[in-house]
Structure 1
């Protein structure tokens, strides 16, 4: 399966928060906590990719963003994924959808922090293929 037919159907900002009291501009160090999640809608042949990012100082989040992207999969390819009671999504395709979601999250983060001191926090590039190491198997 070389190419999988799909389209981005919907973008949702699930969560966005700036916690000003948890951030000190006097400290240079911060960490980024990254979480990826996936879900399926087997009735509508759709995959949901979710990215949650937390910028933290001293293990306290000061900037939180969570975004989901819903992707419609063409019926001919959905048939390849669909078994009796499970849906198996190839890891490479999941990584591709996650990369789109991360890029979308980066843009939303920029837009929501524009003209604030938090606009300097840009989501760096992530090696998604290292994060997704096996096919996704979902129960219907």
Structure 2
């Protein structure tokens, strides 16, 4: 089996809403809405979990009026974790394609959380558009296992 054919085993372990806020006073009708988005990554070495946190802000006239950050925490099977592990450097490297896939799953989850949190409000009209993950994930993500683990 070639390296590209190798299956990566993982499962969604947990979903967290890290932040959610609606700032009604910052919202004005009629002006252009800007969107800022970002990703952070973290791991739990002991539990073999890779976390992807997606955050976005809907902004009008330089003021955010809708803020959300959602985390998806993925349990990585032992064999895959070991494949990602470089014991000599004490690092774990998640390949770009895999981390992009986890990011897409997290963004989709954030879209659902946003809908649920704004349902039956006027802010439910603000949908998270499709996002080109290749603009957000440009390379493999490497975690230094010597450092205290957390969001990166």
TM-score with structure 1 setting the length:
0.96
Q: Paired residue for 2:91?
A: 86
**What is the DSSP-based 3-state SS (H/G/I as helix, E as strand, rest coil) of the residue aligned with 1:33?**
strand
Query: Do 1:92 and 1:129's aligned partners in 2 also have CA atoms closer than 8 Å?
Result: no
C-alpha RMSD over aligned residues = 0.9
Match runs of 1:12-91 below 5 Å: 12-25=16-29, 27-84=30-87, 85-91=90-96
**What is the DSSP-based 3-state SS (H/G/I as helix, E as strand, rest coil) of the residue aligned with 1:105?**
helix
Q: Paired residue for 1:111?
A: 116
Aligned length: 139
Q: Paired residue for 1:127?
A: 132
Query: Do 2:38 and 2:136's aligned partners in 1 also have CA atoms closer than 8 Å?
Result: no
Structure 1 CA distance for aligned equivalents of residues 54 and 25 of structure 2: 24
TM-score with structure 2 setting the length:
0.89
Unaligned runs of 5+ in 2: 146-152
Unaligned runs of 5+ in 1: none
Structure 2 CA distance for aligned equivalents of residues 41 and 52 of structure 1: 20
Q: CA deviation at 1:93?
A: 0.4
Q: CA deviation at 1:44?
A: 1.4
Q: CA deviation at 1:41?
A: 1.2
Query: Do 1:49 and 1:97's aligned partners in 2 also have CA atoms closer than 8 Å?
Result: yes
